[in-house]
Amino acid sequence: MAQIFSLPVIDKSSARAVEAVASNVIGVAEFLEAHARCSLCGAPLTSPAERFTMVSPFGNGGRVTVCRACHRAALGEGYRPAV
Ligand SMILES: [Zn+2]
């Protein structure tokens, strides 16, 4: 005997919950943007002009965001500017 399962119903409260989560994610991104720190020395990165994204030379291709001073040092260590 076959069982019949009803399809999940997406009600309006679920949609609101998804919107709330989405707006929180955007809030977190904005928070991180406003409170970014250099990955190497920890200096606050206050303006986008002081922020450099570099690609790690260590195989995994990881990215780090660094300040102007560390940017120069990172280039010397083999980091490449992220495109
Ligand atoms: Zn730094």
Ligand 1 centre from 13 Cα, in Å?
Answer: 45
CA–CA distance, 27 with 19 (Å, rounded to integer): 12
What pLDDT shows up at residue 35? 79
Residue recorded with tokens 């303006």 = 47
Mean pLDDT is highest, among 18-22, 28-32, 73-77, for 73-77
CA–CA distance, 80 with 76 (Å, rounded to integer): 9
What pLDDT digit, counting tens, does each position of 37-73 carry? 999 999 999 888 889 999 998 877 789 999 999 999 9
DSSP code of residue 44: B
What pLDDT shows up at residue 8? 67
Q: Is 10 left (phi over 0), alpha (psi -120 to 50) or beta?
A: beta
Ligand 1 centre from 25 Cα, in Å?
Answer: 26
Full-model pTM: 0.58
What pLDDT shows up at residue 81? 94
Domain ranges of the chain: 37-83
